[in-house]
Amino acid sequence: MKSQRSLEVGTGLFVLLGFAALFFLTTQLPGSGLSFGQEAGYRVTARFENVGDLKVGSPVSMSGVRVGEVESIRFDPNDYRAVVQLHIAQEFNQIPEDSDASIQTQGLLGGKYVGIGPGGSDIYLEEGSEIEFTQSAIVLESLVNKFFANFASKGSEEP
Amino acid sequence: MIDSALSRIGRVGLFLVRVLSNIPAIFEQPRAVVHQIYNSGGRSLIIIMLCGLFVGMVLGLQGYDLLQRFGSEDALGIAAALGLLKELGPVVTALLFAGRAGTALTSEIGLMRATDQLTAMEMMAVDPVRQVVLPRFIGGIIALPLLVAIFNIVGLFGAQLIGVQLMGVDAGAFWSQTQQAVELDDVAEGIVKSLAFGLVCSLVAVYEGYHAEPTAAGVGLATTRTVVVSSVLTLLVDYMLTAAFLGA
C-alpha cells in the first residue's frame, strides 16, 4: 500500500510540474499572452501615419525605461491613420500632456517599440487622453530608396 | 505488399476506433490511468529534463554562433524559444517518449499476450482493451504534452545558461525580445503538435503490443517496430502539421 501511495504522490508531482510548465509557457513567455488581471494603469491613444511592424504587446518606453505596452492597434478609416492604444503603468502618471510619441526600432533587426519624449506642460496625461505629436515608423526601405534617388539625380547633374 | 500495408493501416484504424469506443470506461478506473501517467510520464521525466537541457544548450551555442555574425546575438532568445516551442520540444520529446515509454508499453502488453494473460481476461469476460490498453493509451496522451512543456522550460533555461551566462548576451534583451516575438499561437502550435504526437506514439505502442506475435522473438520484434513506426510517423505528422500551421 505504501508503494501505491508514493506512486500517486510521484504522479501528482509530475502532473503539477507539467501544468506549471504549461502555465509559464502560455502566460509568461508570449508578450501578448493570456494574463490574469492587468496591472493598474491608464490608457492613452496616439495616431500614427505608419506603425511599421509594431505589434500588440510591444513595449512603450521613456528614456529607455519600459513604462507600458501597446494594447491595441486599429485603423481609423476617417483620417486614414493607425490608432494605437497604449497602456501605461500607474506609477508613471506624471507624463506631460504635450509629450511626443515615436515608433522606434531596437537595434538593427530588433522589434519596434513606442518611445515617448517628455514635453514641458504642467498638465499630465491621464486615462483617455491623446498624444498629439507623433512620428511614424521609419521604413528602412524607403529611406534607402530616397538615398539612392538623391544619389542618382546628383550623379546625372555632373557632366 | 501494398495489400498488406493497406490492411495494416486498416487494422490500426479499427483498433483506434475500438479503443476510443471504450473511453467512458476510464472514469471507472481513474487509478489505472494515474498509474499509467506515472509509468509513461513520471518515469521519463529525468531523461526528458536531461535531454532538454542539452538541446537548449546546443541551441544556445549554435544560435549564438550564427547570430553574432549578423551582430544580432540579442535575438538568441527568440531563436531558442521559437525553435523549442514549435519544433524541437515536441519532436525530440516524442522521439524520446517512443524509446523510453513506448517500448515499455509494447513489451508489457506483448508479454501479457505471450503469456496468455489477455486471453485469460477474455475468458473471464473482461475486455482487455478496456482493462489493459485504454489506461495506457490515455496515460500516454496526457503525459506527453506535460513532458513537452517541461522539456521546453528546461531547454529555454539551457539556452539562457549558454547565451547569457557564458556568452554574455544581455539578460534583459534576451527575455524582452523573446516575450515580444513569441505569440500565443506559437505556444498553441507546440501544444497541438505534442497532443498529436502523444496520440500517435501511444497508439502505435499499444497496437504493436496488443498484436505482437505471442513468442519471445515476436515481442522483441514488436518493440523494435514501435520505435521505428513511432519515430517515422512523428516526423511525418510533424511535417504535415507544420505545413498546415504555416498555411493558416
The beta-carbon neighbor of A110 closest among B74, B145, B182 is B74
Rounded to whole angstroms, the Cα distance separating B234 from B98 reads 9
pLDDT at A158 over 60: no
Query: Percent of chain B having pLDDT more than 70?
Result: 100
So where are chain A's domains? 1-37, 41-144
The beta-carbon neighbor of B41 closest among A14, A59, A108 is A14
Tell me the pLDDT band of B141, cut-offs 50, 70 and 90: very high
Whether residue B48 is contained in a domain is answered as yes
What average pLDDT score do residues B87-94 get?
94
C-alpha cell, B165: 551566462
What average pLDDT score do residues A119-146 get?
82
The beta-carbon neighbor of B152 closest among A21, A34, A59 is A21
pLDDT digits (tens, 9 = 90+) for A40-78: 788 889 988 888 878 887 888 888 888 888 888 889 898
Helix crossing, B45-67 with B134-160: angle to 10°? 40
Rounded to whole angstroms, the Cα distance separating B149 from A22 reads 5
pLDDT at A33 over 60: no
Tell me the pLDDT band of B167, cut-offs 50, 70 and 90: confident
Q: Do A18 and B147 touch (CB under 8 A)?
A: yes
- What was the pLDDT predicted at B60? 92
- What was the pLDDT predicted at B84? 92
Q: Do A30 and B179 touch (CB under 8 A)?
A: yes
Rounded to whole angstroms, the Cα distance separating B84 from B91 reads 9
Q: Do A32 and B183 touch (CB under 8 A)?
A: yes
What average pLDDT score do residues B235-242 get?
94
Q: Do A25 and B85 touch (CB under 8 A)?
A: yes
**Spatial CB neighbours of B70, under 8 Å, sequence gap ≥ 6:** A109
Whether residue B22 is contained in a domain is answered as no
C-alpha cell, B218: 515476436
- Average pLDDT in chain B: 90
Whether residue B13 is contained in a domain is answered as no
Q: What are phi and psi of B48, to 5 degrees?
A: -65, -45
Q: Do B41 and A17 touch (CB under 8 A)?
A: no
pLDDT at A32 over 60: no
Q: Is B44 exposed, middle or buried (0-12, 13-18, 19+ CB in 10 A)?
A: buried
Which residues on A lie below 8 Å from B180 (Cβ)? Answer: 31, 55, 57-59, 111
pLDDT at A35 over 80: no
Identify which of B63, B109, B99 has the alpha carbon closest to the alpha carbon of residue B207.
Answer: B109
Which A-chain residues 57-76 have CB contacts (< 8 A) with chain B? 57-59, 66
Which residues on A lie below 8 Å from B184 (Cβ)? Answer: 26, 30, 32-34
Q: Within 10 A of B131 (CB to CB), how many other CB atoms are there?
A: 15
The beta-carbon neighbor of B150 closest among A21, A32, A55 is A21
The beta-carbon neighbor of B81 closest among A14, A29, A32 is A29
Total domain count, chain B: 1
Whether residue B91 is contained in a domain is answered as yes
- Is A56's Cβ below 8 Å from some Cβ in B? no
Q: Do B38 and A14 touch (CB under 8 A)?
A: yes
Which residues on A lie below 8 Å from B181 (Cβ)? Answer: 111
How many angstroms separate the Cα of B52 from the Cα of each of A12, B9, B91? Answer: 21, 33, 11
- What was the pLDDT predicted at B173? 80
Query: Percent of chain A having pLDDT more than 90?
Result: 1
Phi/psi zone of residue A37: left (φ > 0), alpha (ψ -120 to 50 degrees), beta? left
DSSP A79-146: TTEEEEEEEEETT----BTT-EEEEEESTTT--EEEEEE----SSBP-TT-EE-EEEPPPPHHHHHHH
What average pLDDT score do residues A70-99 get?
88
Residue pair B146/B153 in contact (Cβ under 8 Å)? The answer is no
Q: Do B146 and A111 touch (CB under 8 A)?
A: no
Q: Is B27 exposed, middle or buried (0-12, 13-18, 19+ CB in 10 A)?
A: exposed
C-alpha cell, B14: 479499427
Whether residue B20 is contained in a domain is answered as no
Domain carrying residue B61: 29-247
Strand partners, A115: A61, A102
- Chain A closest CA to B42's CA: distance in Å? 6
Which residues on A lie below 8 Å from B68 (Cβ)? Answer: none
Q: Do A32 and B37 touch (CB under 8 A)?
A: no
Tell me the pLDDT band of A143, cut-offs 50, 70 and 90: confident
pLDDT at B55 over 90: yes
The beta-carbon neighbor of A25 closest among B70, B143, B152 is B152
Amino acid identity, residue A148?
F
Whether residue B10 is contained in a domain is answered as no
- Chain B closest CA to A119's CA: distance in Å? 27
Which residues on A lie below 8 Å from B183 (Cβ)? Answer: 30-32
Rounded to whole angstroms, the Cα distance separating A74 from A151 reads 37
- Chain B closest CA to A109's CA: distance in Å? 7
What sign has the CA pseudo-torsion B187, B190, B91, A13? positive
- Is A35's Cβ below 8 Å from some Cβ in B? no
Rounded to whole angstroms, the Cα distance separating B237 from B98 reads 14
Whether residue B213 is contained in a domain is answered as yes
Whether residue B215 is contained in a domain is answered as yes
Amino acid identity, residue A23?
F
What sign has the CA pseudo-torsion B150, B156, B157, B158? positive
C-alpha cell, A116: 515617448
**Spatial CB neighbours of B76, under 8 Å, sequence gap ≥ 6:** B60, B63, B64, B67, B159, B163, B169, B174
ipTM score: 0.73
Tell me the pLDDT band of A156, cut-offs 50, 70 and 90: low
Strand partners, A62: A65
Identify which of B197, B184, B211 has the alpha carbon closest to the alpha carbon of residue B98.
Answer: B197
